[in-house]
Structure 1
């Protein structure tokens, strides 16, 4: 009887040992799985516009977010309150460098500030993609530039006015952005191209800091000072829409306004017959492509084209239906 009990106890011990062994092996598999997942840490990209006031940058963020989600990156969208807060931009870059992000996609209207932030990232060995600009940064290592030819965009605006309004005197008021390379290129391209057309005369040019409300106020004052102005060229869509509102406020029904960007609000305004035209710059595509290039930089791939140029075209009421969401 005692021998039977001993045999039963031996069988029970063997079964218990087998269960413990299986559990130990299972826990080992789980532990290994956790270790592997920790090794493949999700990469982080900082996407830094000069501010988020302009709808252009909102569209760029939209494109960047979609691409980051598609490729499995964490995207940090950070921006100063205003486009002239260059110290704020520098502080943001210093912070993301300290956080050891894997890549930076950035835009600012000031080349000196851009050179400083790129050098900061270079020192930390973090790759940088500059978006919405093709102007080379001297003394710093930029992985790639994603944007459109801003000087050519200005020239396209002048060509549109010179050809579409052939035979009509075109007296232009120019609404400038903040001082910097963006204003220099968009204004310079327009002025140079305008010289080719005898019907275009630039009457006045004043800054409106890329803002719609300021664009309206500056355009109103400009018109009151010189009532021969029948066209406003805004170096951004927001200023062009402001100029449209200015014409409306002084009772001008046939005033012509043209901007640069291709924002959704501008397309709506064009479709309603308010703003005349815009140079469409594909802001969403710029955001998307900047993340594509950041991803290549993170993976250590060589970029085929350091200057990734986005095509532009003038969109007026005859084309706007193709660009409304």
Structure 2
């Protein structure tokens, strides 16, 4: 009996020691998030979600700004690897160049998560493919987001003629530009909509550029039926262009769920969008890194996403603004 009690005591001490070590290791874990540019509300919101998740998990979060510079982002990643941080998440400024950074982190056994942007050539990387040396790609499923925007467009486009559509794209070099357009077209074709893409122009993800692009489209095609903006920010600028020109074109977007975007939907400036949750992306990125560092989940090349419902004036509550 005394022997059994002694064994139980030893087991209890061992369990307490393991718990203490786990608690200490959580406090010692440092995870870094490197934004594309903190001038973008999306990047800021993702960082908030990342920090909030780290706080709940008991680890330390570093949030760093590449200021939309490939060189600066590369230098930041190199510094983090040299400092031996425990994990890195990043919105890549250049998804092709970023592959070398992921490789270097992998060589140093540092888990790496791509947030919102695939790693690899955006014109060649298959949809939903995750670069093999990544812990995970944590992102909106942008093909699905495009499809949901296309489904909304199919409901509101005219049926008595071939609909003329203009597409306000994101910045060149992002795989999401191709993916959102692909999903959008897939949905229109599945619905049997007769349409023509009469204009498709890139932006820098800003409202100002969205306004400029839409003005150009309306000048060349005054009878546009619909504008599809690949993000809320450009849609806000496009709404101004539509309003000032007196155009009756419908306006829908993806990457919705921003405070200003939701307000524009409520006021009728934007007809609808597709919910995007950057804070959720940040949370999921931090969790994936934490699980990899602590050994809870050491799988590579995971694809991690979340639900993205269509949002209109009738159901804004399903997508509370996160940015």
Describe the shift of the 1:168–1:268 C-alpha distance in structure 2 as closer, same or farther (beyond 3 A). Answer: farther
* Counterpart selection for 1:268 from 238, 263, 271: 263
Cα distance, 1:111 vs. partner? 2.8
| 1:112 has 2:96 as partner | yes
Cα distance, 1:198 vs. partner? 2.8
Cα distance, 1:76 vs. partner? 1.0
Aligned counterparts, 1:35-54, within 5 A: 42-54=28-40
Q: Which residue of 1 aligns with 2:15?
A: none
Cα distance, 1:291 vs. partner? 0.7
| Cα distance between partner residues in 2 of 1:42 and 1:109 | 29
* Counterpart selection for 1:308 from 304, 308, 313: 304
Highest CA radius of gyration, 1 or 2? Answer: 1
| 1:146 has 2:141 as partner | no
Q: Which residue of 2 aligns with 1:76?
A: 62
| Cα distance between partner residues in 2 of 1:153 and 1:322 | 15
Deviates more, 1:40-49 or 1:268-277: 40-49
| Count of residues paired in the alignment | 286
Contact 2:95–2:117 (CA<8 Å) still a contact in 1? no
- TM-score, length basis structure 1: 0.81
- Unpaired segments ≥5 residues, structure 1: 1-35
| Cα distance between partner residues in 1 of 2:184 and 2:206 | 20
Contact 2:231–2:254 (CA<8 Å) still a contact in 1? yes
| Cα distance between partner residues in 2 of 1:95 and 1:184 | 32
Contact 2:130–2:303 (CA<8 Å) still a contact in 1? no
| Cα distance between partner residues in 2 of 1:164 and 1:255 | 10
| Cα distance between partner residues in 2 of 1:290 and 1:168 | 46
Aligned counterparts, 1:9-158, within 5 A: 42-82=28-68, 85-108=69-92, 110-133=94-117, 135-138=128-131, 140-158=132-150
Three-state SS of the structure 1 residue aligned to 2:65 is coil
Q: Which residue of 2 aligns with 1:290?
A: 285
Cα distance, 1:53 vs. partner? 2.6
Describe the shift of the 1:168–1:291 C-alpha distance in structure 2 as closer, same or farther (beyond 3 A). Answer: farther
* Counterpart selection for 2:165 from 168, 172, 191: 172
- TM-score, length basis structure 2: 0.81
Cα distance, 1:303 vs. partner? 5.2
Cα distance, 1:255 vs. partner? 3.1
Contact 1:281–1:310 (CA<8 Å) still a contact in 2? no
Q: Which residue of 1 aligns with 2:201?
A: 206
| Cα distance between partner residues in 2 of 1:80 and 1:153 | 27
| Cα distance between partner residues in 1 of 2:140 and 2:298 | 18
Contact 2:130–2:136 (CA<8 Å) still a contact in 1? no
Cα distance, 1:232 vs. partner? 1.3
